[in-house]
Amino acid sequence: MNISRPSSLPAALLLVLFLATGCQEEPDWANVHTVVPMVAERHEPHGLGPRLPLERQVALAAPDNILEPDPALAVAPPAEGGTLRRGLRSWLPSRYTWMTENLVSVSEINSYVNEGIARPHVNAPDRWAPGLAERVTVSDDGRVYRIYLEQGVLWPEPFSPFLSDVGEKVVEVTSEDFAFAFQMMRDPRVERAGPARSWYSDCTDLRVLDPYTFEMVWSEPGLAARIWTLSFTPLPKHIFSRAEDGTRYRDPAAHLETHWHRWPMGAGPYRASSIIDDQMIRLERNPRYHGATPPIENIEFSAYTRASELFADLRSDRLDVVQIPSWFAGEEVGGRTLIELASSMDGIHVLDVKQLGYSHIGWNLRHGPTRHVEVRQALTMALDRERIIDEVYGGRGNVSTGPYSSMTPYASPEIEPLPFDLQAARRLLEENGWGSVRGVREKRTDLGRERLELELLVASDAEQRIADIFAADAARIGILITTTVKPGLDAWEAMTVPLESSGASERYLAGYFGGWGHDWEDDPFQLWHSSQADVLGGSNPIGFANPEADALIEAIRHEPDPDKRLELHHQFHALIADLQPYTFISEDVTLMITNERIEGIRFSKSRPHDSSLFWGLRRP
């Protein structure tokens, strides 16, 4: 997802990325076409913020501890203070509890408010640094993780009046908060926790040993046990177990989604201080944070649903940084694209940043002719993805081959994208019995006569542009594509709820436009395992269910050997590329617009790539 690349860069522009190695070369995971002018001063490394207490140094140095300090954090921070104003090219979330919300915007905001057991290294996501835990050990069979929490870590004082009434303004983070989160996540009455339950489906128990020590027990060792243990995040039991008036719930799970979800709460470096008219959320530094104090004092996230509003705030210096997905790159304001406008403004600079993720069309595998693999393969060959990247994504990105980013070793280098080839698509359909009747292909199947008349859900002008290109080319091989707009309809509803019913017949959408971000080494269970196809509001709305895929997913999750696991990822990539449950469009490249007052910009290999935890703001 990209824009046209400038042939040359002004010599005055310099991007300095602070890397763990100390070098300033551009890494292969950040592709910068226009760069931010910065001045960076090298300092001697000073460790992870303030000097660690002796007892924590001893815990970290224990030979059985799988956590290790992140050397990327040994760079001296930039200037402190100020308010960073970030834009969200979407609406402001209405729910923030990490286990019940799957939106990218929720994950981004929670990355500042929450902290889990550990955090992946900035430049080596397969290695983990201490978070709320100072030490983690693993049993010889790889199934039991023992977590030793740092003692004396306090929950931030939330902006809620009842806590002062019950005398719990100072509350320590303990094993009970992790046990409470585990109990809430596993309770089926917390319906929106379905995706989170999938992550921990193999975790059989969480055993509290004492206030600062607990164990997570897994049925199998391997990738899932490691990443989901180390990223596990607590819930403040003293808050979520109470009503808004402070009375204790007898059954907290029955009320988890009733009110506290409206406010992000965690033990991370920031805490939420206000939410204004569903348009802005303001974070302030958490004065009780146990780690290094982030340089920036406040972060404001503002929602922008219109390009004109975003541009107005950029021009009037009310916005410092915003990520624009490449499918919005061609949006126009007054006849000029956002990119053209931003690039022409003094003090505003534009970067392209590669992301771990992809855009796609998800096909309905439960209903209609897209159940047939040859139809999905033909559809992919009828979509001119290079043209879409050039014309809709502004030249940003490269054609995606499947559910892995080419930036990672887990994408098989042997897989090539299906070509744009209408002749081959027509031939494939004819070979599988799809004949042309009055210009539209049809076939008699076990469900009767099926015609390739497909309706796609669109939710933006960019998606409509893609659909128009798609429809024109597909019509040439006898596939009729139309679109519909259903505000508020999510992917799950789009694939499972009929558009209309008439007697015994029902009409369903054939597909929807979507996108996923993923981890460096991704656990494919949530999106692709058959057990997730019937999870209400889950991440497998298309109904993908394949025994071979299930076997590979389970092997990936449970294989402890990294080299063997790499080969399994490649096999899974090949299978998905063959079955085409999605038409994968483009690997993510985000347009990042920044104000020159930001200093110390650097990117992480893991998401969110543009975390501003270690950025600073130049003083006026």
* Residue 583 three-state SS: strand
Q: What is the pLDDT of residue 27?
A: 32
Q: What is the pLDDT of residue 22?
A: 34
Q: What is the mean pLDDT of residues 405-412?
A: 95
CA dihedral sign of residues 204, 210, 211, 215: negative
Q: Which residue has the higher pLDDT, 18 or 315?
A: 315
CB atoms closer than 10 angstroms to residue 594: 24
Exposure string of 188-203, with b = 16+ CB inside 10 Å and e = fewer, is eebebbbbbbbbbbbb
Question: Across-strand partners of 203?
Answer: 218
pLDDT in tens, 462-499: 899 999 999 999 999 999 999 998 877 778 888 888 87
In which band, very low, low, confident or very high, does the pLDDT at 52 lie, cut at 50, 70 and 90? Answer: low
Q: What is the mean pLDDT of residues 113-119?
A: 96
Q: What is the mean pLDDT of residues 115-137?
A: 94
The amino acid sitting at 451 is R
Q: What is the pLDDT of residue 25?
A: 34
Could you tell me if 556 and 524 are in contact, meaning their C-beta atoms sit under 8 angstroms apart? yes
pTM over 0.75, yes/no: yes
Helix (H) or strand (E) holding 299: strand 298-303
In which band, very low, low, confident or very high, does the pLDDT at 276 lie, cut at 50, 70 and 90? Answer: confident
Q: What is the pLDDT of residue 503?
A: 61
Q: Which residue has the higher pLDDT, 239 or 60?
A: 239
Q: What is the mean pLDDT of residues 424-438?
A: 96
Residue 42 has pLDDT above 50, yes or no: no
Q: Which domains does the chain have, with CATH numbers?
A: 54-75+77-298+597-617 (3.40.190.10), 356-589 (3.10.105.10)
* Omega before residue 608 within 30° of 0, cis: yes
In which band, very low, low, confident or very high, does the pLDDT at 134 lie, cut at 50, 70 and 90? Answer: very high
In which band, very low, low, confident or very high, does the pLDDT at 15 lie, cut at 50, 70 and 90? Answer: very low
* Residue 25 three-state SS: coil
Q: What is the pLDDT of residue 204?
A: 96
Angle at 221 between CA 215 and CA 224, to 5 degrees: 85
pLDDT in tens, 342-370: 888 888 888 888 889 999 999 999 999 99
Across the chain, mean pLDDT equals 85
In which band, very low, low, confident or very high, does the pLDDT at 159 lie, cut at 50, 70 and 90? Answer: low
pLDDT in tens, 585-618: 999 888 889 999 999 888 888 888 888 988 999 8
Q: What is the pLDDT of residue 4?
A: 28
Q: What is the pLDDT of residue 168?
A: 55
Q: What percent of the chain lies above the pLDDT cut of 70?
A: 87
Q: What is the mean pLDDT of residues 437-451?
A: 91
Q: What is the mean pLDDT of residues 195-200?
A: 88
